[in-house]
Structure 1
Amino acid sequence: MQTRAFKKETGFSIIEYINKLKIKHATFLLRDTALPIQDIGRIIGINDVNYFSRLFKRYMSQTPTQYRKIFN
């Protein structure tokens, strides 16, 4: 599927869609495990913990640490 067709069909670019899936998986890991945040970032494919935190905040309007505190 071409990039334009994907965006037309889903409303998201491929990168946005993949990032949303990664953040969704990260929210599960933050709620249901005691894994360190940097390990969660690595599990979802983001090795830079600072970038992971910025990306998480962009989609969830809070940092991974803040998110974890709410759900624990």
Structure 2
Amino acid sequence: MNTLTTNDAKRNFGERLLNAQRKPIKISQNNKDAVLVMSNKDYEELKTKKVDYIKHCFENAKRDLAQGNVVDGKDFLDTL
């Protein structure tokens, strides 16, 4: 993944947007990662995967609850 400073990103911004359509670009500010520029298609795919993962976790939790596979919250925290 290409990383640019904010000043580099400002120069030839249109070209940077075209590059981000092919692969994400990190933009750093004061030597720290600030933002990630990616295509809308990549963002939508990432968002869909996140939703699918949350649904998967929720279904597993419902199944565990129905089967009685639960842990007392206090006991769990005490073991940490």
TM-score under structure 2 normalisation?
Answer: 0.31
TM-score under structure 1 normalisation?
Answer: 0.34
Q: Which has the higher helix share?
A: 1
Question: Which one has the largest radius of gyration?
Answer: 2
Q: Which has the higher strand share?
A: 2
Higher relative contact order (CA 8 A, sep 6+): 1
